[in-house]
Amino acid sequence: MWAFCFILLTSYATLSECKAAAGKRHDVRHFPDGFLFGTSTAAYQIEGAWDEDGKSENIWDHLTHEDPCATKDCSNGDIADDSYHQYKRDVEMLRELGLDFYRFSLSWSRLLPTSFPDKINEAGVAYYNNLINEMLKYNIEPMVTLYHWDLPQKLQDLGGWANPNIVDWFGDYARIAFELFGDRVKYWITMNEPREVCYQGYGFVSMAPRLNIQGVAEYMCAKNLLVAHARAYHIYDEEFRALYGGTIGITLSTSWYEPESEREVEAAEDTTQFEWGQYAHPIFSESGDFPPVMKEKIAAKSTAQGFYRSRLPEFTPEEIEYVRGSSDFFGLNHYTSYLVYRNESVYTANEIPSYYDDMESMVYQPNHWDGSASEWLKKTSWGFYNLLMKIKNDYNNPIIYITENGFSTTSGLDDDDRILYYREYLDAMLDAIEGGAHVEAYTAWSLMDNFEWLAGYTARFGLYEVDFGSPERTRTPRKSAFVYKEIVRSRSLDWHYESDSTSMTIDEGH
Ligand code: GBE
């Protein structure tokens, strides 16, 4: 049926026609045995305590303090959800939801205030030990991200991900994290969404450090970040895996890129290769390296623009081997889709280097797609199905963990739009699983409202609402929390389930 949907769309049918074709909502569908459910957060978005107990400054502290209204509501993460002090309540919420695992990230500058291994901040270690031990008491597995966008500012001063020395710096940090927590943490994620780190932060202005060095810095970042990821992978693989038996991989941000018309199939594929193939191809393809289309297009443009070499750095043959296969699973963050069309001169006839000019295509979302509180996020679950099938087909059916998926609203506990989003996306995921995709885990973003980067606190992704005006940052379950809890409990998707409860209880065994 989803394949049917895809055909309809590519032959110019409207999305609503496509949706009308999706008629499965009356069946109760079951998730496969052993399928895992969790929720996700990230350190800077929830912890607060930005300078407490020896933590040093990271790039988000720096950005939000230097330029307080860089964020939509002139807010920052100084306190955020105050999880540094409220972690017991966080774990209580995981128990209320009956989850199998919780994905959170470590703050590099909290653990290593100098950025380097010469000084380990014991208070930071204690915080993560407390959190992990509290979870394990209730059989909730930690899934730990090493890097979710909060680089120590000192390393940024040294060039951050544009400096190849970061391979050593990140490797050292990763080894310390494995040493400290590897006895209890069995799921490791090296990096969250390299595309957003590099494109938004180095090639553009929508994430710290907002360098805006287009067509150059994002590619330098990409290469170093991939090698740094591989360094952490190999350290775990060689020094810790036999001891602890865990699993380690990378999480990529992936949208679905749909050709605007039949003529745009190539443009959509090129866009896919630039947007996340850039990171997936070096790791998950058989040949490794950046996607051929990126190498060709960027080299040709660079020459035409007067550069002496391609703006896309080359991997050495050793680096290609080092990065290839360096992920035990495909960590997948997915939210939305775009339409694509070819546009060969995005900026002034190719004179100014830029990422979209290199890609020679444009992406957009039609107005009639169902929106959220984030302008980039439209509900398009057919794209999720297509994406999962593409990953299965292009990369030899890897194990996939959905490490983020979710929907934003403004405030309020009545979040029917979020419930609909989760149901449609889980339905599409089940279709992909039936189609042979190897999806083993699903993670809702997010456990609770939190600091949504440059959107501040204006877009809410939480299953739990957070009252940012209260000293304890009081957390209250939304309607969607009760629905997600029932999905996890019953291990099935039942469109008829409705809950009118307002208070959560903890079920036996949690
Ligand atoms: C994830 O990012 C993050 O991991 C998480 O920290 C965050 O809170 C959550 O999602 C919700 O946003 O011009 O095409 O680049 C795209 C999601 C806008 C990643 C796309 C918004 C990627 C964030 C505009 N981005 N998306 S453009």
CB atoms within 10 A of CB 285: 16
Residue 254 belongs to a domain: yes
Residue 406 Cα: closest atom of ligand 1: 11
CA of 196 to the centre of ligand 1 (A): 7
Distance 245 CA to ligand 1 centre (A): 32
Burial of 241 (0-12, 13-18, 19+ CB in 10 A): middle
Q: Which protein residue has the closest C-alpha to ligand 1 atom 25? A: 376
Give the per-residue pLDDT at 16: 39
- pLDDT tens digits along 231-266: 999 999 999 999 999 999 999 999 999 999 999 999
Please tell me the number of Cα atoms within 13 Å of 152 on its side-chain side: 22
- Cα dihedral sign for 495, 384, 457, 374? negative
Residue 504 is assigned to a structural domain of this protein: no
- 109 close to ligand 1 (CB < 6 Angstrom): no
d(CA 471, CA 86) in angstroms, rounded, equals 11
Nearest-atom index, ligand 1, CA of 335: 17
User: Is 321 considered catalytic here?
Assistant: no
**Domain for residue 105, yes or no?**
yes
Binding site membership of 100 for ligand 1 (Cβ less than 6 Å): no
What confidence score (pLDDT) does residue 344 get?
A: 80
Whether 192 lines ligand 1, by a CB cut-off of 6 Å, is: yes
Q: Is residue 500 part of a domain?
A: no
Residue 31: other Cβ atoms inside 10 A: 20
Distance 122 CA to ligand 1 centre (A): 32
In the residue annotation, 57 being an active-site residue is answered as no
Identify the CATH number of the domain in which residue 54 sits: 3.20.20.80
Ligand 1 nearest-atom number relative to CA 363: 14
- Asked if the structure places residue 339 within a domain, the reply is yes
pLDDT at position 348:
55
Does the C-beta of 193 come closer than 6 Å to ligand 1? yes
* Residue burial 153-187, b: 16+ Cβ < 10 Å; e: rest: bbbbeebbbbbeebbebbbbbbbbbbebbbebbbb
Query: Can you say whether the dihedral through the CA atoms of 319, 321, 326, 332 is positive or negative?
Result: positive
Atom 11 in ligand 1: residue holding the nearest Cα: 452
User: Could you give the CA distance from residue 396 to residue 286 in angstroms, rounded to a whole number?
Assistant: 9
Q: Which of 141, 269, 319, 404 is catalytic?
A: 404
- For position 305, what pLDDT does the model report? 93
Residue type, 415: D
Nearest CA to ligand 1 atom 7: 452
Terminal alpha carbon distance of the chain = 37
Atom of ligand 1 at shortest distance to CA of 453? 8
How far away, in angstroms, is 207 Cα from ligand 1 center?
10
Q: Separation of 129 CA from ligand 1 center, angstroms? A: 29
Ligand 1 nearest atom to the CA of residue 42, by list position: 6
Cα separation, 412 vs 414, in Å, equals: 6
Please report the DSSP string for 216-234 in residue order: THHHHHHHHHHHHHHHHHH
- The 3-class secondary structure across 96-114, one letter per residue, is HHCCCEEEEECCHHHHCCC
pLDDT in tens, 162-176: 999 999 999 999 999
pLDDT on residue 365: 98
Nearest CA to ligand 1 atom 21: 376
Paired with 29 in beta bridges are 493
The answer to whether residue 502 sits within a structural domain is no
Pocket test for ligand 1, best of 81, 404, 405 (most atoms within 8 A of CB): 404
Pocket test for ligand 1, best of 146, 148, 200, 355 (most atoms within 8 A of CB): 200
Q: Is residue 7 assigned to a domain?
A: no
Ligand 1: does its nearest atom lie under 6 Å from the Cβ of 75? no
* Distance from Cα 33 to the centre of ligand 1, integer Å: 31
State which of 335, 339, 354 you would mutate to test the pocket of ligand 1, scoring each by most atoms of that ligand within 8 A of its C-beta: 335
- The residue annotated as part of the active site, out of 47, 96, 141, 193, is 193
pLDDT given for residue 18 in this prediction: 52
Strands 400-404 and 29-30: unpaired
Atom of ligand 1 nearest to the CA of 455: 12
The pLDDT assigned to 510 comes to: 86
Ligand 1 touching residue 449 (CB < 6 A): no
The alpha carbon of 224 and the centre of ligand 1 are apart by a number of angstroms equal to 21
Residue-level pLDDT, tens digit, the chain, 510 residues: 444 455 445 444 444 335 544 556 768 999 999 999 999 999 999 999 999 999 999 999 999 999 999 999 999 999 999 999 999 999 999 999 999 999 999 999 999 999 999 999 999 999 999 999 999 999 999 999 999 999 999 999 999 999 999 999 999 999 999 999 999 999 999 999 999 999 999 999 999 999 999 999 999 999 999 999 999 999 999 999 999 999 999 999 999 999 999 999 999 999 999 999 999 999 999 999 999 999 999 999 999 999 999 999 999 999 999 999 999 999 999 999 999 999 887 665 567 899 999 999 999 999 999 999 999 999 999 999 999 999 999 999 999 999 999 999 998 999 999 999 999 999 999 999 999 999 999 999 999 999 999 999 999 999 999 999 999 999 999 999 999 999 999 999 999 999 989 899 999 888
- Measured from the CB, is residue 333 less than 6 Å from ligand 1? yes
Q: What string of DSSP letters covers 232-287?
A: HHHHIIIIIHHHH--EEEEEEE--EEEESSGGGHHHHHHHHIIIIIHHHHHHHSSS
Beta strand 475-477 with 464-466 is antiparallel
Task: Write the DSSP symbol of residue 203.
Answer: I
Q: 1-40, pLDDT tens digit by residue?
A: 444 455 445 444 444 335 544 556 768 999 999 999 999 9
DSSP 415-479: -HHHHHHHHHHHHHHHHHHHTT--EEEEEEE-SB----GGGTTSSB--SEEE-TTSTT--EEE-H
Number of domains in the chain: 1
In a domain, 8, yes or no: no
Tell me the three state secondary structure of residue 341.
Answer: strand
Which residue range forms the structural domain that includes residue 112?
A: 25-494
Q: Whose CA is nearest to atom 24 of ligand 1?
A: 376
Cα 206 to ligand 1 centre (Å): 10
Looking at residue 24, what is its pLDDT? 63
